[in-house]
Amino acid sequence: MCYNKVVYIDYTKGFNGSKNFYEVMQMIKKEMIAMLLAGGQGSRLGVLTTHMAKPAVSFGGKYRIIDFPLSNCINSGVDTVGVLTQYQPLKLNTHIGIGIPWDLDRNIGGVTVLPPYEKSSNSEWYTGTANAIYQNLEYMESYNPDYVLILSGDHIYKMDYEVMLDFHKQNNAAVTIASMPVPIEEASRFGIVVTDNERRITAFEEKPAKPRSNLASMGIYIFSWNVLRDALIANKDESELDFGKHVIPYLHERNERMFAYEFNGYWKDVGTLNSYWEANMELIDIIPEFNLYEEYWRIFTKSESLPPQYIAKDSKIEKSIIGEGSEIYGQVINSVIGYGVTIGRDTVVRDSIVMNNTTIGDDCELDKAIIAENVTIGNKVKLGVGEEVENDTKPQIYNHGIVTIGEATKIPEGISVGKNTVIVGSFEASEFENAELPSGRTLIKAGEKQ
Amino acid sequence: MRAIGIILAGGNNHRMKELSRKRAIAAMPIAGSYRSIDFALSNMTNSHVQKVAVFTQYNARSLNQHLSSSKWWDFGRKQGGLYVFTPSITQENNLWYRGTADAIYQNLSFLKDSHEPYVIISSGDGVYKLDYNKVLEFHIERKADITVVCKEMEPAENVDRFGVVRMNEENRITDFEEKPIMAKTSTVSCGIYIIRRRQLIELIEKCAEEDRHDFVSDIIIRYRSQKRIFAYKMNEYWRNIATVKDYFQTNMDFLKADVRNYFFKQYPDIYSKVDDLPPAKYNVGSEVSNSLVSSGCIINGVVEDSILFKKVFVGNNCVIKNSIILNDVYIGDNSHIENCIVESHGTIRANSYYKGEDGIQVVIEKNDRYVL
């Protein structure tokens, strides 16, 4: 465990050039601290990240994506976490607060939100993953760590970082990269590590055309502190300093001891709308591979004190999970429903994700839709009807037939919406031609950011 | 707020039968996600009372666990906060709380060390929402010594388990009878009082000198003609859980849309301790209608007109009708439960059959549980 130790420095030997011979020095020390990268927009989640950074997007009925790495931290005994924020941080900041839900409100350590800040010279935004860490060297130094754990805020998984740290120590490694086996035909989508028999990394390939191994990097690193510090300082002038592109190749060149820690549990990058949808749907299997109901590795979140859910007479719920305080009068099949949601009478919700505090009227039919928070959908609305047509603006984001409804959207009564569509904004019935939005169309109210 | 709060949560009564064996009434689970003391506590915090003492005595483990952190009710503060007082041995005293007045007497320093002019006393077993500021305004306006919050019950309702009051046209209480054989009116005391702090200290000290220990009979009833005791009438929902039947009915009230909206949707909210439980999960074969389901439940069977508290597991082909299943109960496959209250942490074996024939049956099953 990485709980704080207070180190008393032997003043007779001096410390860091301490001049005062009689000064008894006392210093905080954490064996390992975590730095969580949560500043990215996650533009491949489309309109879901218009008003919030990707780590703040809700997931699985009551969580937000950042809950998973934060819960992993506290469950692994890492009680000092710096969260690096930049893009649309309001929701993230409110969610994290002082870290109470994860027991990360500590006297020493705990969670600290680290936005970019102005300096006497060279003020800049976080320009890359490693640059963000570089700009917070002082924060890390204040805990005098032996190891630094680098995490990203957009993965769904449960992992004991302490086991990974043990692996790091055993190998006397400079860097350990968490990696997992993927099917070899998919390997060219990932950063691939090639290792020898002892798991020492011999080569590192970013999205190789012909992968030499099927071990994909998960974007989770443990660095020995002095290695990280020296590498960041040596490369500080690199533009958009990035771990995968610059820091790891730099250390590899210098022949530092780099090891691959193999992880075999559930791990899902929810970077695209389709993978986000899939990861949600995997939660509703009878015994899901990713099980939220396990006692020994709980996922914590900022739960508001909410009433139980009410399931009315003549409603039907099958293969679904439903959040607190929701009221269900219609049918919910194969779906993930957040908290505070109302689903009207004779409405059918199928294969969909409905986020917190959304209201859906009566007699609606929803198929394969992702509906963000605080949306209002009128009566007799149909989502996901007709043939699949490629999206007209961003087919690389809106695909797989998913209907995406942005935050706080209002859809009036009686509208039919096709597949691969996007709607954001508050609309009147007159703004729809023939009361429909055909498949593949994008409808974003003027003034709304895309 | 110019008042401090006292919540009397020490009580137990035999009319709750097996249900109170393991907990004080104030810790009885209500409406899926709450415990009865949450209502008084939330009213205190929503009325901006900053300093609240809870007096507990009977089997307080469950209650203490619930109150282990005051942050859920926003009492985790440097100024004021939540105090839990259990009886303790001191130089002068080594007795349990012998009654409500005695409980206050034994903790009189809490009152003496405060500076707020008024004290709000509430029982911990009422299910209600009330802005105490309104009661305090009434108290000041009437120049009352003590204000008792009262509720007019339905004429059909049997009120013999309550304190029954009679008042004159200006709401001054002229008669107060505790648990009368024949009630003269249908106005009952809700067990919520406002009184000036110095007045309370004086009355409690006098009571102790005379070796009297009960707040209702030795203060309110005894002083009803000497002191100006007024009744504040409350018209909103109020229920007190004193019997198994009351308890069942109070819970079932939450299946009605108006009660649910009043407590769950209208401002202000009721707060409770937050458990980090996953959302409820409905598997193939689940058929739920007119029921409340709390977080952490996994449902594989039929649930009708029932309330499932947190972390209930319902097995395949189960039928649960008109029942209350308390926290963390495991119900094995093919079981039938009707008109029952299933005690918390129970494990019901597969193929069990329970049906309350005349009235509500309380089911306590402590079987070994292997896997969940």
CA of A141 vs chain B CAs: smallest distance (Å): 32
User: B33 vs A339: CB contact, 8 Å cut-off?
Assistant: no
pLDDT for res A24: 43
Per cent of chain A over pLDDT 70 is: 93
Q: Which residues of B touch A62 (CB under 8 A)?
A: 278-279, 295
What are the residues facing B60 on neighbouring strands? Answer: none
* Nearest Cβ partner for A320 among B282, B292, B308: B282
Continuous H helices in chain B:
37-46, 61-66, 100-106, 108-112, 132-141, 197-209, 215, 244-253, 257-260
**pLDDT category, A26, cuts 50, 70, 90?**
low
**pLDDT category, A185, cuts 50, 70, 90?**
confident
User: A311 vs B288: CB contact, 8 Å cut-off?
Assistant: yes
3-state helix, strand, coil in chain A (%, to 5): 20, 30, 50
User: B264 vs A339: CB contact, 8 Å cut-off?
Assistant: no
Q: What is the pTM of this model?
A: 0.91
In a mutagenesis test of the A interface, which of B72, B283, B286, B302 is the best target, namely the one with the most A β-carbons within 10 Å? B283
Q: What is the pLDDT of residues A299-332, one digit of tens each?
A: 999 987 789 999 999 999 999 999 999 999 999 9
Cα(A309)–Cα(A305) distance, integer angstroms:
12
Q: Which residues of B touch A101 (CB under 8 A)?
A: 276
* Nearest Cβ partner for A293 among B255, B293, B298: B298
CA of A280 vs chain B CAs: smallest distance (Å): 13
Phi-psi region of A447 (alpha: psi -120 to 50; beta: other; left: phi over 0): left
Cα(A71)–Cα(A18) distance, integer angstroms:
39
What three-state secondary structure class fits A49?
A: helix
Q: What is the pLDDT of residues A359-395, one digit of tens each?
A: 999 999 999 999 999 999 999 999 999 999 999 999 9
pLDDT for res A320: 96
- A-B Cβ pairs (cutoff 8 Å, strict): 110
User: B295 vs A314: CB contact, 8 Å cut-off?
Assistant: no
* Sign of the alpha-carbon dihedral angle for A8, A12, A17, A18: positive
Q: Which residues of B touch A320 (CB under 8 A)?
A: 281-282
Residue A23, pLDDT > 60, answer no
User: A317 vs B288: CB contact, 8 Å cut-off?
Assistant: yes
Average pLDDT, chain B: 92
* Sign of the alpha-carbon dihedral angle for B80, B85, B91, B93: positive
3-state helix, strand, coil in chain B (%, to 5): 25, 30, 45
Residue A154, pLDDT > 90, answer no
Residue B109, pLDDT > 70, answer yes
User: A298 vs B276: CB contact, 8 Å cut-off?
Assistant: yes
Residue of B86 and B200 predicted with greater confidence:
B200
Q: What is the pLDDT of residues A415-446, one digit of tens each?
A: 999 999 999 999 999 999 999 999 999 999 87
Cα(B302)–Cα(B318) distance, integer angstroms:
6
Residue A1, pLDDT > 50, answer no
Q: Which residues of A touch B72 (CB under 8 A)?
A: 305
For A96, the enclosing helix (H) or strand (E) is helix A90-96
Tell me which residue of B24, B26, B30, B3 sits closest to B193, measured CA to CA.
B3
User: B284 vs A308: CB contact, 8 Å cut-off?
Assistant: no
User: B275 vs A325: CB contact, 8 Å cut-off?
Assistant: no
Cα(A242)–Cα(A128) distance, integer angstroms:
5
B330 in contact with chain A, both atoms CB, cutoff 8 A: no
- Spell out which chain A residues touch chain B, with contact meaning CB-CB distance below 8 angstroms: 60-62, 100-101, 284, 286, 292-293, 298-301, 303-325, 332, 337, 339
B256 in contact with chain A, both atoms CB, cutoff 8 A: no
B316 in contact with chain A, both atoms CB, cutoff 8 A: no
Residue A228, pLDDT > 80, answer yes
Q: Which residues of B touch A324 (CB under 8 A)?
A: 33, 279, 294-295
CB A301 within 8 A of CB A63: yes
Cα(A246)–Cα(A239) distance, integer angstroms:
10
Nearest CA in chain A to B32: A308
User: B289 vs A312: CB contact, 8 Å cut-off?
Assistant: yes
CA of A323 vs chain B CAs: smallest distance (Å): 5
* Sign of the alpha-carbon dihedral angle for A189, A194, A200, A206: negative
* Nearest Cβ partner for A293 among B275, B278, B292: B278
Pairing of the two strands B313-314 and B298-299: parallel
Residue A449, pLDDT > 60, answer no
User: B282 vs A317: CB contact, 8 Å cut-off?
Assistant: yes
Tell me which residue of B129, B189, B193 sits closest to B159, measured CA to CA.
B189
In a mutagenesis test of the B interface, which of A305, A328, A333, A337 is the best target, namely the one with the most B β-carbons within 10 Å? A305
User: A309 vs B294: CB contact, 8 Å cut-off?
Assistant: yes
Q: Which residues of B touch A304 (CB under 8 A)?
A: 274
B294 in contact with chain A, both atoms CB, cutoff 8 A: yes
> Prior bond to B268 cis, omega within 30?
yes
Q: What is the mean pLDDT of residues B336-347?
A: 95
The count of residues in chain B is: 372
CA of A71 vs chain B CAs: smallest distance (Å): 11
Cα(B132)–Cα(B49) distance, integer angstroms:
9
Residue A7, pLDDT > 70, answer no
User: B274 vs A304: CB contact, 8 Å cut-off?
Assistant: yes
Q: Which residues of B touch A323 (CB under 8 A)?
A: 279, 295
* Nearest Cβ partner for B260 among A284, A310, A311: A310
Min mean pLDDT across B65-69, B75-79, B89-93 is at: B89-93
What three-state secondary structure class fits A220?
A: strand
What are the residues facing B84 on neighbouring strands? Answer: B54
Q: What is the mean pLDDT of residues B242-270?
A: 94
Q: Which residues of A touch B326 (CB under 8 A)?
A: none
User: A324 vs B294: CB contact, 8 Å cut-off?
Assistant: yes
Min mean pLDDT across A150-164, A206-220, B303-317 is at: A206-220
* Nearest Cβ partner for A325 among B264, B274, B372: B264
* Nearest Cβ partner for B281 among A305, A308, A321: A321
Nearest CA in chain B to A332: B282
Q: Which residues of A touch B295 (CB under 8 A)?
A: 62, 308, 323-324
